[in-house]
Structure 1
Amino acid sequence: MRPRLPPTNSREASTGSWGGDSPTSLPARPRSHASSPCSRAGEQRSREPVSVLGAWRNATGQEEIDELFAYLAASFSDCTSSTMDLVAFDVVGDMAYTAALEHTSVSVDGRPRTYTLRATQVYRREDGQWRVAHRHGDTLIDGDAQPPSDESRPPS
C-alpha cells in the first residue's frame, strides 16, 4: 500500500497536524522537531538517535537538536509562506523517507528572505506516530536541477 501524499498547503505543512498511526498519513513535517521556521515549537521528541544536517547548522543527539532549534527560533520570524513540493517518498515497515523542495518566505535576523531548501527526512514509527530520525536540508541555488515534470517522467 502506497502512502497518500501529505498535504502541501501552508497551514497543514507548517503544523504537521496530519501525522497519524498509519503510513498512509506519513507527515512531511515531523511532529518530533520543527523542520521549518514556520513550524510550531514544543512538539514531542523522537527517541535517539536523531540528527540534522542543515542548511544553517548541523546537530546530532537531542541536546544539540534542542540547541539548534532554539537558535533557529531566535533567528527566524514573520513567516509569510511555507509550502513544499514532494518529490519522492516510500514506507517500508516502521521506516520511511520523504524528499521535497521546501519553499519559505520569512524574516531572518529581521531581514525578509525567500528561499527553497532541498530536504530529505527519514522517519521512524514510534508508539504509533511517525517521528523524524534524520533530516538533511540544503539551499537550492539558481541553476540547480529541478524535479522532472510529470510530462518528462518515463511511463511506469
Structure 2
Amino acid sequence: MALNLEWSNEQDKLEISDELIALLNTLLQKAGEAEGVTEGEVALTFVDDESIHELNRTYRGIDRPTDVLSFAMQESLDDELEIVYEVEDDEEAEQLGGLTDVLGDIIISVERAKLQSEDYGHSLEREIGFLFVHGFLHLLGYDHQDEASEAEMMGKQEAVLAQVGLIR
C-alpha cells in the first residue's frame, strides 16, 4: 500500500479542480516522506463554514467555525482498551488489516480558506495546501499548544510547502 488521498466535496462555494487534488496529493507524498510515513490513507473533505462550525461545536466544544479539523485514527489514549479482532480466515484478516492503514480525516472549510488567503495575501491554493499539511501533521500527533511545538509544526509545514513552490 502507498500513501493515498481520498477526498470528497460537500460545499458549493468553490469547484475543486483536478489540479488542486494533484497538488494536495503531492503535498501528502512530500509530508509523508519528511515524516517517514509511506503507507496509509488520508480522507479529506471540503465543507462550508456552517458544516465545520457544527463539527467544531460537537467534537471540540468550540462554538464557531474554524479553518481545518483533523480526526486521527491511529492515536490511542492510555485508558483506551485495545480492540482485539478474532478472524476466521486470511481474507477477513486482510480486510481488517486495511482498517489500521487509515491515518484519519481532515476537514477543510473552503469559505474560511478563501477569507484567510485574502487576509494573508497569498493564493487560495497555498492556503488550502497549508491547511492540508497542518491537518496531516495533526494526524501524526503534532500539536501547537505552546510556542516550541508551534514553531516545530510551522517549520515542518513551511518546508513541505516550499518543496512545491507554495511560499508566501
TM normalised by structure 1 equals 0.25
- Return the structure number with greater helix share: 2
Largest Rg, 1 or 2: 2
- Return the structure number with greater strand share: 1
Larger RCO: Structure 1 or Structure 2 (Cα < 8 Å, ≥ 6 residues apart)?
Answer: 2
